Amino acid sequence: MTAFDVATLRKEFPTLDRDVDGHRLVYLDSAATSQTPIAVLDAMDRYYRTFRSNVNRGVYQLAEEATDAFEGARANVASFVDADVRGVVFTKNATEACNLIAYAWVRRHLGPGDVMLSTMMEHHANHVPFTTAAKEQGFELRHVPLTSDGQLDLAAAEALVADGRVTFAAFAHVSNVLGTINPVTALRALVRAANPDAKVLVDGTQAVPHMPVSFRTLDVDFYAFTGHKMLGPTGIGVLLAAPEVLETMEPFLTGGDMIRDVTLDGATWNDIPHRFEAGTPMVAEVIGLGAAVDWLRAHDMAAIREHEVALIDAFLSALSDLDGVEIYGPRDVSVRGGALSFAVDGVHPHDVGSMLGSRGVCVRVGHHCAKPLMRCLGVSATARASLHVYNDVDDIEPLVDGIQAAQRFFAR
Amino acid sequence: MTMEDLYQEIILDHYRKPKNRQPQLEGESVHVHHSNPLCGDEMDLRVRIGDGVLDAVVFDGDGCSISQASASAMTQAITGRTLDDVLELAEDFRTMMHGEEPKRADDLGDGVAFRGVAKFPVRVKCALLGWMAVRDAIETYQEGASAHSVTHDD
| Nearest-angstrom CA–CA distance, B117 and B8 | 10
Residue in A355, A358, A380 closest to B40 by CB: A380
Residue of chain B minimizing CA distance to A356:
B3
| Nearest-angstrom CA–CA distance, A254 and A104 | 12
Residue in A350, A367, A374 closest to B126 by CB: A350
- Residues in chain A with CB shorter than 8 Å from the CB of B38 are 366-367
Q: Is A369 tagged catalytic?
A: yes
Tell whether omega for the bond before A330 is within 30 degrees of 0, i.e. cis: no
Q: Do B40 and A367 touch (CB under 8 A)?
A: yes
For A254-296, the pLDDT digits (tens) are 998 898 999 999 999 999 999 999 999 999 999 999 999 999 9
Residue of chain A minimizing CA distance to B18:
A412
- Residues in chain A with CB shorter than 8 Å from the CB of B16 are 412
CB proximity B130 to A under 8 Å:
no
pLDDT at B153 over 70: no
Nearest to A313 by CA among A213, A396, A380: A396
- Residues in chain B with CB shorter than 8 Å from the CB of A371 are 37
Q: Do A21 and B1 touch (CB under 8 A)?
A: yes
CB proximity A209 to B under 8 Å:
no
**Which amino acid does the sequence have at A412?**
R
CB proximity A124 to B under 8 Å:
no
pLDDT string in tens for chain A (412-residue length) = 446 899 999 999 999 999 999 999 999 999 999 999 999 999 999 999 999 999 987 789 999 999 999 999 999 999 999 999 999 999 999 999 999 999 999 999 999 999 999 999 999 999 999 999 999 999 999 999 999 999 999 999 999 999 999 999 999 999 999 999 999 999 999 999 999 999 999 999 999 999 999 999 999 999 999 999 999 999 999 999 999 999 999 999 999 889 899 999 999 999 999 999 999 999 999 999 999 999 999 999 999 999 999 999 999 999 999 999 999 999 999 999 999 999 999 899 999 999 999 999 999 998 888 888 888 888 878 999 999 999 999 999 999 999 999 999 998 7
CB proximity A286 to B under 8 Å:
no
- Residues in chain A with CB shorter than 8 Å from the CB of B65 are 348, 351, 410
For A65-79, the pLDDT digits (tens) are 999 999 999 999 999
Residue in B12, B42, B65 closest to A380 by CB: B42
Residue in B2, B3, B40 closest to A381 by CB: B40
Active-site pick, A98, A362, A369, A376: A369
CA distance A117 to chain B (A): 26
SS3 call for A317: helix
Contacts within 8 Å (CB) and 24+ apart, B101-107: B107/B77
Residue in B3, B37, B39 closest to A358 by CB: B3
Kindly give, in sequence order, each residue whose CB lies less than 8 Å from that of residue A88, ignoring residues fewer than 6 positions away: A74, A77, A78, A238, A239, A240, A273
CA distance A410 to chain B (A): 8
CB proximity B3 to A under 8 Å:
yes
Q: Do A412 and B16 touch (CB under 8 A)?
A: yes
For B46-62, the pLDDT digits (tens) are 999 999 999 999 999 98
pLDDT value, residue B57: 98
| Phi and psi torsions of B124, nearest 5° | -60, -40
ipTM for the whole complex? 0.86
Residues of chain A above pLDDT 70, percent: 99
- Residues in chain B with CB shorter than 8 Å from the CB of A380 are 39-42, 62
Q: CA-based diameter of chain A, in Å?
A: 72
For A160-198, the pLDDT digits (tens) are 999 999 999 999 999 999 999 999 999 999 999 999 999
The secondary element (H helix, E strand) that includes residue A89 is strand A88-91
- Mutation pick from B1, B39, B70 vs chain A, by most beta carbons of A within 10 Å, is B39
CA distance A92 to chain B (A): 22
**Which amino acid does the sequence have at B18?**
P
Residue of chain B minimizing CA distance to A379:
B40
Bridge partners, A238 (sequence order): A90, A225
For A171-194, give one letter per residue: b (16+ CB within 10 A) or e. Answer: bbbbbbbbbbbbbbeebbebbbeb
- Mutation pick from A20, A128, A345, A354 vs chain B, by most beta carbons of B within 10 Å, is A354
| Nearest-angstrom CA–CA distance, B96 and B133 | 17
CB proximity A257 to B under 8 Å:
no
Cβ atoms of A204 and A123 within 8 Å: the answer is no
| Nearest-angstrom CA–CA distance, A402 and A200 | 42
**Which amino acid does the sequence have at A163?**
D
The secondary element (H helix, E strand) that includes residue A33 is none
Strands, E assignment, A360-409? 361-362, 364-366, 382-386
Residue of chain A minimizing CA distance to B39:
A366
Q: Please, where are the H alpha helices in A300-348?
A: 301-320
CB proximity B100 to A under 8 Å:
no
